[in-house]
Amino acid sequence: MNKSLVIILREYLVMVRKKSFLISTFLVPLGMFLMLFGQIYLSQREKAQDFGIIDRSGLGVALRLTWARSNPLEVLKGTKQYIFKYVEDTPEAVEAAEKAIKEGTYSALIIVPEDVLETQTVQFKAKNITDHQVQRWLEDELTKIVRERKLRDRGIPRADVSAILATVDLDLEDITGKEQSAGQRLLIGFGSMFALYMMIAIYSGMIMNGFIEDKASRVMELLLSASSPRQILLGKVVGIGMVAITQVAIWVAVVFIVREVRPGMLTILLAAPASMYLFTAVYFVLGYFLYALLLSAVGAMCNSLQDAQQYSLPVFLPIITAMVCLSLVMREPDGPVSLALSLIPLTSPITMPALMGLTTVPPWQTAASLAILAATLPLIYMGASKLFRVALLMQGKTPPLKDIGKLLMAPEQ
Amino acid sequence: MPHPIEIRNLRKSYEGRAAVDNLSFDLRAGTLLGLLGHNGAGKTTTIRIALGMIRSDGGTVSILGGPITRDTRDRIGYLPEERGLYPKMPVIDFLFFIGMLRGCERSAIRPRAANWLERFDLADRHKSPIQELSKGNQQKVQFIATLLHDPDILILDEPFSGLDPVNRHLFEEIVLEKRREGKAIIFSTHVLEQAERLLDEVIMLRKGVAVVQGKLSEVRASYGGSKLDIAGEGVEGALRGYPGVEPGRQPREGVWRFRIDDRSRAQEVLAHLVRSGARVEGFTLAEPSLNDIFLERVGGIDRGLVESGFIPEEAGA
C-alpha cells in the first residue's frame, strides 16, 4: 500500500474515533437544534400582553390602538399579541394599575393626558421599558391619532385626512435576481464565512498540534526512517482533511434529515442557491489545504505548543484581516477592498463565500480567485515540505523567525 | 556481490563542525557491527545518512547494491535511540501501522505480529494502549516494530538501554538469531562488555573520525600486546623506563596497569620486579578489553585520568 495512504488511514481512523470528534460532531448540531427549537417554543408560549390605558383626552385611544393592532397586516407581521384595556380614570386608578404592573397582570400603563394635542407626550409606565419594538409602534400609532385629530380640527374632510396620513413604503427590489431577502443573504454570507473560518482554523490547527505531538513522542523519527517527508506531510494533511469532510458530511446529512422530519425548520440554511454551496465547499477544501500546509511547516519547526502559538499568529493574520474587513465588504461588495480580499489566496477562502452571499460576483472574479488560489497551493506545498525536511529532525530549539527565510533558501540537508 | 551497506568517504558537518569525517566501512551479511562513541561522536548522524533521512556533504552510501530507494528503505529495520510510540494507540494497531508503512501486507503482518508478541510475552496485552505498558514492554513493542517486516539490514541505536537483565538476554538472543539468519546488523551502544560479547566488527568514533575500526579480534591484536595488572608496593618505580613496558593507569587503589608489547615479556617483568625488591601481591596477564581500547583511543570518560597522564593526551582530547 502507498505510504501516504497508510498515514492518511491512521490519522483518519485515530481522529474519527476520538471522543472530541464525536462530541464536536454531534453536540454542535444538537446545540444549534436546541437553540432553534427553544426559540420557537418560547415565542409560541409567550402570552398576550395586557396594556392598561387611562385616556383623559377623549380621543378613544384604547379602541383605536386595538383596532390598529388587529389590522390583518399587523397580525401577520407581529408575533406578539397586545390587548389594550380601558382603565377608568378614578383617583386610585394610577396606583392600582401600577400595582397590577408590579404583580404582572398588566405589562404597562399608558396615560394619555387631556392636553395631548399641545404637549405631544403620552406617559408609558412599565417594569420593562426596553421593548423598543412596541414603543416605536405605539409612537407611530399615537402620532397618527393626534395628527388626525389636528387635521380634522382644522376642517379637513375625513377622506383627505386618510390620504394625507397615508405612509410611504419602500419597495425593496434586488436587481441581481436573487430570490432571498436581504436579511437572509446577509445571514448566509456571514454564516458561511464564519463556518469556514472556524473549520479552517480548527482543522489546520489540529495538524500543527499533531506534528508537535509526534515530534515530542519521537514517533517522527520512526516515520521519517520509513517514509519521505513529503509522504508524511501529504498523509497527515489529507488524513485530517478527510476527518473535516466527514464531519461536514454528517452535518449536511443531519440538515436533510431534519428537513424531512420538520419541513420549514431549517429553511434559512437551505435558502442559498446550489452553486453557492458548491463554491463554499471548493473554497473550504482549497483554504484548508493552504492553511494546513502552512501550519504543518510551523508544527515541524516548533517544539512546544507555546512556540507554535507564537509562530502561527502571522499565519492566521490574513484570516483575521478578512474577518475584520467584513463590514467593509458588506458595505461595498464590489469595492476595491472586497476585490483585493477575494483575489489574495490567503483571504479569498474566507471572503469569497461571504461575497457570494451578499452579491452576484462576476464570473471572471470567481475564476481569477480560484485560479490564483489553486496556483498558490503547489508553491506552498513545495515550501512547506522543504521547511519540513530541514526542521523535522531538529530537536530542542525552535529556529528564530528571521532564520526561516534562510532555511527556505538553504540547500536540502 | 555487494555488501548490504557500503559507505565510502562519508562527510557531514553542521555549521562548520564535522559530525562525520571521511568515514568508510562495509557491513557484511551475517555480521554484527558495533558503532561505539560518546554522544555527538557521529553515530546517529551516520545512521540517519545511511537511512536517507539526512543528506551527506560528500561520499557515497550504498544500501543493498545502490543508493537508497523507497524499496531498499523498506528492507531496513531501524530502532531509533529515542523510542517513539503513539502513546494512545493499542499495541496491535501500532504494529499494523508500522508494518504497512514499511511495505508489508496486512495478511503478512498478522501471523508475524502474533508470533513476536508471543515470544516477547506480550500476547495478552496486544489490545492495550501503549502508554499503559511498562517502559520495558514499550521497548519490546518498539523492537517488534523493527523486526516485523523481516528486514535484511537491522540498524539498532542503543537497543539494550534501559532493559532489565532478563529482557536484555532475550534481546541479545534475538539479535544473535538474526545474525545466524544472515542479516546484517549495526548497533550502537555504550555498554562495552556487552558489545565485546556480541560484536564481530567494531568502529569507534571520536568527533566523527573512526579512531578504531576492524574485526574485533584484529582490533585487539593491533592494539598491541597485552595488559598486565600488578598489585603491590614499589611496582611503578621498579618498572619505570623498563623496555617494552608502557606505564598505564591505575584502575584502582594499589593496582597498576601496564601495557606490554608481547605476552612472553610478562615472565621477564615479574623476574625484574622480584629482583628490584618490589613487593608483588597480585600479578594478572590479560587480553585488552574493548573497554581498555575504548578508553585509550576514544577516552573522555574520566577527564581526570587524562590530566594526570594515565591516558595519552591524544586519546582523551
Query: B84 vs A224: CB contact, 8 Å cut-off?
Result: no
Confidence of residue B312 (pLDDT cuts 50, 70, 90): very low
What is residue B118's predicted lDDT score, i.e. its pLDDT? Answer: 93
Confidence of residue B143 (pLDDT cuts 50, 70, 90): very high
In a mutagenesis test of the B interface, which of A222, A389, A413 is the best target, namely the one with the most B β-carbons within 10 Å? A222
Grid look-up 437553540 returns: A35
What is residue A412's predicted lDDT score, i.e. its pLDDT? Answer: 52
Taking alpha carbons only, the member of B282, B313, A208, A182 closest to residue B305 is B313
CB proximity B16 to A under 8 Å: no
Nearest to A3 among B48, B86, B101 (CB): B101
Interface residues from chain A to B (CB-CB < 8 Å): 1, 3, 6-7, 10, 14, 214, 217-228, 393, 412-413
Query: B101 vs A224: CB contact, 8 Å cut-off?
Result: no
What is residue A40's predicted lDDT score, i.e. its pLDDT? Answer: 62
For residue B76, the distance in angstroms to the closest alpha carbon of chain A comes to 9
Q: Which residues of A touch B84 (CB under 8 A)?
A: 214, 217-222
CB proximity B53 to A under 8 Å: yes
What is residue B177's predicted lDDT score, i.e. its pLDDT? Answer: 94
Q: Which residues of B touch A215 (CB under 8 A)?
A: none
In a mutagenesis test of the B interface, which of A225, A303, A390, A395 is the best target, namely the one with the most B β-carbons within 10 Å? A225
DSSP string, A123-167: EEEES----HHHHHHHHHHHHHHHHHHHHHHTT--HHHHHHHHPP
Nearest 5°: phi and psi at A263? -60, 145
Nearest to B86 among A217, A393, A412 (CB): A217
Kindly list the averaged pLDDT for each block of 10 residues, start to end, along chain A of length 413: 86 87 82 72 65 84 74 50 79 84 84 87 83 80 88 86 81 60 68 81 86 85 86 92 90 80 63 77 89 87 81 86 83 86 90 82 91 92 81 62 65 52
Confidence of residue B303 (pLDDT cuts 50, 70, 90): very low
- Please check the confidence at residue B157 and state whether its pLDDT lies above 70: yes
Contact B315, B227 (CB under 8 A): no
What is residue B313's predicted lDDT score, i.e. its pLDDT? Answer: 43
Grid cell locating A318: 490574513
Taking alpha carbons only, the member of A81, A158, A159, A146 closest to residue A119 is A146
Whole-angstrom Cα distance, residue B100 to residue A82? 71
What is residue B311's predicted lDDT score, i.e. its pLDDT? Answer: 42
- Cα angle vertex A218, ends A217, A221, to 5°? 155
Q: Give percent above pLDDT 70 in chain B.
A: 93
Taking alpha carbons only, the member of A102, A4, A89, A25 closest to residue A55 is A89
For residue B153, the distance in angstroms to the closest alpha carbon of chain A comes to 13
Question: A338-347 burial, b if ≥16 CB within 10 A, otherwise e?
Answer: bbebbbbbbb
Q: Which residues of A touch B48 (CB under 8 A)?
A: 393
Query: A218 vs B83: CB contact, 8 Å cut-off?
Result: yes
User: Which residues partner with A55 through β-bridges?
Assistant: A112
Taking alpha carbons only, the member of A228, A222, A7, A385 closest to residue B68 is A228
Query: A219 vs B51: CB contact, 8 Å cut-off?
Result: no
CB proximity B86 to A under 8 Å: yes
Average pLDDT (B73-77) is 91
Query: A10 vs B97: CB contact, 8 Å cut-off?
Result: yes
For residue B258, the distance in angstroms to the closest alpha carbon of chain A comes to 44
For B219-273, the pLDDT digits (tens) are: 877 776 677 888 888 887 787 778 777 777 777 788 888 878 777 788 888 888 8
CB proximity B98 to A under 8 Å: yes
For B168-202, the pLDDT digits (tens) are: 899 999 999 999 999 999 988 877 878 888 889 99
DSSP secondary-structure letter at B252? B
Average pLDDT (B69-93) is 89
List C-alpha distances in Å: B18 to A239, A289, B203: 39, 39, 17
Model ipTM value: 0.76
| pTM for the predicted model, two decimal places | 0.71
Contact A209, A305 (CB under 8 A): yes
For residue A20, the distance in angstroms to the closest alpha carbon of chain B comes to 14
Query: B86 vs A219: CB contact, 8 Å cut-off?
Result: yes
Whole-angstrom Cα distance, residue B282 to residue B285? 10
A103 burial type by CB count under 10 A (0-12 exposed, 13-18 middle, 19+ buried): exposed
Average pLDDT, rounded, for chain B = 84
- Partner A, chain B 147-206, Cβ-Cβ below 8 Å: none
Nearest to A217 among B54, B84, B97 (CB): B84
A124 burial type by CB count under 10 A (0-12 exposed, 13-18 middle, 19+ buried): middle
* A/B interface, count of CB pairs below 8 Å: 57
In a mutagenesis test of the A interface, which of B13, B101, B149 is the best target, namely the one with the most A β-carbons within 10 Å? B101
Q: Which residues of B touch A222 (CB under 8 A)?
A: 78, 80, 84, 98, 145
DSSP string, A225-294: HHS-HHHHHHHHHHHHHHHHHHHHHHHHHHHHHHHHHSTTSSGGGG-S-HHHHHHHHHHHHHHHHHHHHH
Grid cell locating A245: 469532510
Number of other residues whose CB lies within 10 A of the CB of residue A86: 14
Nearest 5°: phi and psi at B283? -145, 110
What is residue B307's predicted lDDT score, i.e. its pLDDT? Answer: 43
The 3-state DSSP class for residue B156 equals: strand
Query: A393 vs B54: CB contact, 8 Å cut-off?
Result: yes
CB proximity B80 to A under 8 Å: yes
Query: B53 vs A393: CB contact, 8 Å cut-off?
Result: yes
Grid cell locating B95: 504494529
Expressed in angstroms, the distance from the first to the final Cα of chain A is: 28
Q: Which residues of B touch A225 (CB under 8 A)?
A: 51, 53, 73, 76, 78, 80
Residue type, A23: I
Contact B34, B188 (CB under 8 A): yes
Taking alpha carbons only, the member of A192, A301, A287, A281 closest to residue A237 is A287
Whole-angstrom Cα distance, residue A203 to residue A289? 10
- For chain A, the C-alpha Rg in angstroms (whole number) is 31
Closest CA in chain B for residue A7: B101
Whole-angstrom Cα distance, residue B276 to residue B238? 6
DSSP secondary-structure letter at B129? B
Query: B85 vs A219: CB contact, 8 Å cut-off?
Result: yes
- Please check the confidence at residue B310 and state whether its pLDDT lies above 50: no
CB proximity B82 to A under 8 Å: yes
Query: B101 vs A227: CB contact, 8 Å cut-off?
Result: yes
Q: Are strands A108-112 and A123-126 parallel, antiparallel or unpaired?
A: antiparallel
Contact A266, A255 (CB under 8 A): yes
In a mutagenesis test of the A interface, which of B57, B100, B106 is the best target, namely the one with the most A β-carbons within 10 Å? B100
Among the residues of chain B, which ranges form H helices?
Answer: 43-50, 70-73, 91-101, 106-119, 135-147, 165-180, 192-198, 216-222, 235-239, 265-275, 290-297, 303-307, 313-316
Grid cell locating A142: 399615537
